[in-house]
Amino acid sequence: MTAPAAEPEPAPVSPGFTGPLRGIALKVASVCCFVVMATMLKATQTVPSGQMVFFRSFFALLPVLAYLAWRGHLAHAFATKRPVGHVVRGLIGVGAMSLGFFALSRLPLPEATVLQYAAPLLIVVLSAVLLHERVQVFRWTTVIIGLVGVLIVLWPRLTLFTDPDGMGDGQALGAIAGITGALLSAFAMLQVRTLVQTERTEAIVTYFFISASVLSLLTIPFGWVMPTPEQAALLIGAGFFGGIGQLFLTSCYRYADMSVIAPFEYVSLILTIAIGFVIFADIPTASMLVGSVIIVASGIAVILRERWLGLDRAKAREANTP
């Protein structure tokens, strides 16, 4: 789980794209930060997901605000024309993050990460159904294939409900939470699409972390725990790495086109498989590996297709320019 539903997709902040290698490097750095964040959260073990949301959001806000202050953009972080829109985005995002962290606590790290890859596929479906966007046959085909990959990953966990001893119920619930969190993440991204029309990226990021910090406090009656010093260090560290990862993620789009950078999100799968094996002794299952390959291939196919279409449209505009 590299960039759970907490993270809004930042809009490009410059009209031109230069230095793609630098953009790719920043993207990979952001992925590494989010993997470290997820690893730290998983290592806290007994901490409730609502409490994880608070630490991940509040302590992520600190490096983000410090960076904006250093850049002289702190005022941009609080300037908004749509406070209600930010609250709605916060509600959806906190739900998605909470479910994602619950899945992280119940599933192996690579599986929890893979389920988050379903969010971009679900965005295509929601865009067609709710926004009535036109989706070509190719995109529908890749989305369907990708969702089959998700089902391949989920199915062994869901069948644990039939375990007569009930030993697999926790993993089955984790699988359901993971895919539900991905669905809410897709809804959150649709909300971000509307916010970017009037709001700066700095404001979207800042108000999300603020709303997530406040809303997560409502989960205190449902069983927060007093963290041990080790757990507290992991929770605070997860927040800081999440904030730094957000800064890298936002910055990478200054230097390269989104279609160039997006495929490098899948570096997280390699990292989580390695970390899951070394730290948590998680051995990838055949179904997880097969499903992951299908999901990643579908995601990359959509990205490359959109890039080719974008290039074709650009050539057509140039040809029609007198």
pLDDT computed for residue 235 by the predictor: 97
What is the C-alpha to C-alpha distance for residues 234 and 102, in angstroms, rounded to an integer?
17
**Residue 311 banded pLDDT, cuts 50, 70, 90:** low
d(CA 119, CA 186): 5
- What is the pLDDT at residue 211? 94
Closest CA to 286 of 155, 169, 198, 183: 155
pLDDT band at 92; cut points 50, 70, 90: very high
List C-alpha distances in Å: 198 to 42, 123, 202, 241. Answer: 36, 21, 12, 28
Separation of alpha carbons 143 and 136, rounded Å? 11
Task: Compute CA 38 distance to the chain's CA centroid, rounded to the nearest angstrom.
Answer: 11
Name 81's Cβ contacts closer than 8 Å, sequence gap at least 6.
198, 199
Is pLDDT above 50 for 6? no
- For 94-104, write each residue's pLDDT tens digit: 999 999 999 99
Q: Where residue 12 falls among pLDDT bands split at 50, 70, 90?
A: very low
Please say if the pLDDT value at position 322 is more than 70. no
Q: Is 80 left (phi over 0), alpha (psi -120 to 50) or beta?
A: beta
Question: CA nearest 284: which of 272, 297, 268?
Answer: 272
The reported pLDDT for the residue numbered 130 is 87
> Out of 88-92, 106-110, 279-283, 309-313, which region has the weakest mean confidence (pLDDT)?
309-313
Other C-beta atoms closer than 10 Å to the C-beta of 57 total 26
With 60 as the cut, is the pLDDT of residue 9 above it? no
Q: Indicate whether 257 pLDDT > 80.
A: no
Q: DSSP string spanning 152-169?
A: HHHHHHHGGGG-TT-TTH
**Is-contact 248 27, C-beta < 8 A?**
yes
Residues 124/128/133/134 CA torsion (nearest 10 deg) = 90
Instruction: Tell me the per-residue pLDDT of 152-174, one tens digit each, with 9 for 90 and over.
Output: 998 888 776 666 555 567 888 99
Q: With beta carbons less than 8 A apart as the criterion, state whether 246 and 67 touch.
A: no
Across the range 106-120, mean pLDDT stands at 91
Are 189 and 8 in contact by the 8 Å Cβ rule? The answer is: yes
Predicted confidence band of residue 10 (pLDDT cuts 50, 70, 90): very low
Residue 196 has pLDDT above 70, yes or no: yes
Percentage of the chain beyond pLDDT 70 is 86
**For position 236, what pLDDT does the model report?**
97
The predicted model scores a pTM of 0.86
Q: What is the mean pLDDT of the segment spanning 144-154?
A: 92
**67-71, 224-228, 309-313: lowest mean pLDDT where?**
309-313
Task: Evaluate if residue 65 carries a pLDDT over 80.
Answer: yes
Tell me how far apart the alpha carbons of residues 80 and 72 are, in angstroms, rounded to a whole number: 17
Q: Is the pLDDT of residue 17 over 50?
A: no
Q: Higher model confidence: residue 162 or residue 192?
A: 192
Query: What's the CA dihedral at 181, 183, 186, 190 to 10 degrees?
Result: -110
Band of residue 2 on the pLDDT scale cut at 50, 70, 90:
very low
Segment 7-31 shows an average pLDDT of: 66
Mean pLDDT score of the chain, rounded to an integer?
85
Asked if pLDDT for residue 7 goes beyond 60, the answer is: no
